[in-house]
Amino acid sequence: MTALLDRPARTVAEDLTLRRGAARVLFGNWTGTSTVPSRTLYPHQWSWDSAFIAIGLRHLSPRRAQRELESLFAAQWGDGRVPHIVFNPSVPNDAYFPSPDFWRTSTAGSGAGAPRARETSGIVQPPVHALAAWLTHRADPRESRRRGFLDRLYPRLVAWHDYLLTARDLGGGLTAVVHPWEPGMDNSPCWDASLARITPADPTGFRRADLDHGHPADRPTDLDYGRYVQLALDYRDAGYDDRTASHRFALEDPGVNALLIAGERALAGIAAHLGEDATRHEARADRLTKALVARLWDEEAGLFLARDLVDGALVRERSVAGLVPLLVPGLPEAVVDALVATLDGPGFHADSTTLVPSYDLTGPAFDRTRYWRGPAWFNTAWLIERGLRTHGRHTHADRIRAAILETAGTTGFAEYVDPTTGEGRGARAFSWTAALALDLLAREEAPEEEAHR
Ligand code: 9WN
């Protein structure tokens, strides 16, 4: 593959082709109320996918972007949690595992306020939603006001963040994840040591549907799946109640917390717009930023690390989640410099794609095809691109933007790519890849200008 910088600048015609292709993916994956991440591998609605999808959809149809978020929040639980999957009742039960009859949230989750009329999962995903809602509003403020979009969504977003910072603050002042699916980076090497403590569920008790569509070399292993299933069963048996659940897997993840901080900043914008109190969100974002740096920054690693709350130690594995805090405004300048140096260093700089690998290229667990153990993903590249602009690092951001646009097109909007070759892996026509490419095609201003316009 030609190094990105040696390639000529994109032409108007190339941009137009990419825009049309991305729109085709998003229209093809729309179900009438929301967008599936992939028609084959993921036939339901996923939480953080919907937020990324809304960010792109707003350029095609602001109203559809609003509905994407509204349909997700319609399945919000009474305790404030937003489930990581909202199941589509018309999809056959065996199309995806774990299926509704595994989670049984409408009954097992009733004490935590799970919806009675919808089946969902019982765990959560990263809080990208407030940012997505704010950007969606900004795409067409008049239509948003006419539909009362923010008036209706704001209290739900507040309840969601409150859940993350009450039930899910397990003592460190940050929000914690209690299942490897929660940070959205399922089989990251960052979870290996914590997962090793969990005895896997009996493999004869369930059937993986993902291998009907995904290649076994790209997907998590059976051993990982056994542990995911056991952790979910334990949570279900505790009624999804964070006060009584044992949470044998519990970590503070830098990506999730950075997104929560960015979300609180977006909530401040929304609150000010609605005439509500914005200062509580700013104060919360300030407090979380201090806690993030104090608890998860690691100078020697050159990025943020996850903290395992079972043994209290930092997890010494370098993953892309540790670079996502670039999104946080007001980080100490030395931290920003170190993060940019890490991005440019041998661990995270992949010449052939310029997308960011999900795990240290030089790390012991690096695997160029297996899901979150090496492959480069478009959503994390988009977050880092945005973060670089937040700190005025536009040259770096331009490089990542160009890589996202180029690779989204050449791979047919792949789910992820081999960072050493730029070859697409996983599903194609993947929704957030299309949505985020569309967003970068449309976005000409720096994100902070865009957010405060
Ligand atoms: C489990 C839908 C989701 C993404 C996650 C990604 C993958 C699911 C799976 O797909 O996870 O939630 O079955 O592997 O890891 O980030 O939201 O696109």
Minimal-distance CA residue to ligand 1 atom 12:
181
Verify whether ligand 1 is closer than 6 Å to residue 49 (CB atom).
Answer: yes
Nearest to 357 by CA among 319, 306, 300: 319
Q: Indicate if the pLDDT at residue 236 is higher than 80.
A: yes
Nearest atom (ligand 1) to Cα of 181: 12
What is the pLDDT confidence band of residue 432, given thresholds at 50, 70 and 90? very high
What is the mean pLDDT of the segment spanning 301-319? 98
pLDDT computed for residue 453 by the predictor = 37
Nearest atom (ligand 1) to Cα of 49: 17
Verify whether ligand 1 is closer than 6 Å to residue 126 (CB atom).
Answer: no
**Averaged confidence pLDDT in the chain:** 95
What is the mean pLDDT of the segment spanning 413-438? 97
**Catalytic positions, written as ranges:** 186, 415
What is the pLDDT confidence band of residue 447, given thresholds at 50, 70 and 90? low
Nearest atom (ligand 1) to Cα of 37: 18
As a whole number of Å, the end-to-end CA separation of the chain is: 39
Query: pLDDT over 70 for what percent of the chain?
Result: 96
Nearest atom (ligand 1) to Cα of 185: 15
What is the pLDDT confidence band of residue 268, given thresholds at 50, 70 and 90? very high
pTM check: above 0.75: yes
- 304, with CB counted inside 10 A (0-12, 13-18, 19+), is buried
Distance CA 44, CA 39 (A): 9
Q: Indicate if the pLDDT at residue 310 is higher than 80.
A: yes
Verify whether ligand 1 is closer than 6 Å to residue 210 (CB atom).
Answer: yes
What is the pLDDT confidence band of residue 351, given thresholds at 50, 70 and 90? confident
Distance CA 452, CA 432 (A): 24
Minimal-distance CA residue to ligand 1 atom 4:
184
What is the pLDDT confidence band of residue 443, given thresholds at 50, 70 and 90? confident
Residue 23, Cβ neighbours under 10 Å: how many?
18
Verify whether ligand 1 is closer than 6 Å to residue 218 (CB atom).
Answer: no
Please provide the CATH number assigned to the domain covering 4-452: 1.50.10.10
What is the mean pLDDT of the segment spanning 179-204? 97
Minimal-distance CA residue to ligand 1 atom 16:
184
pLDDT computed for residue 9 by the predictor = 85
Helix, strand, or coil here: 425?
Answer: strand
Distance CA 449, CA 110 (A): 43
Residue 141, Cβ neighbours under 10 Å: how many?
14
pLDDT computed for residue 452 by the predictor = 42
pLDDT computed for residue 451 by the predictor = 46
Verify whether ligand 1 is closer than 6 Å to residue 406 (CB atom).
Answer: no
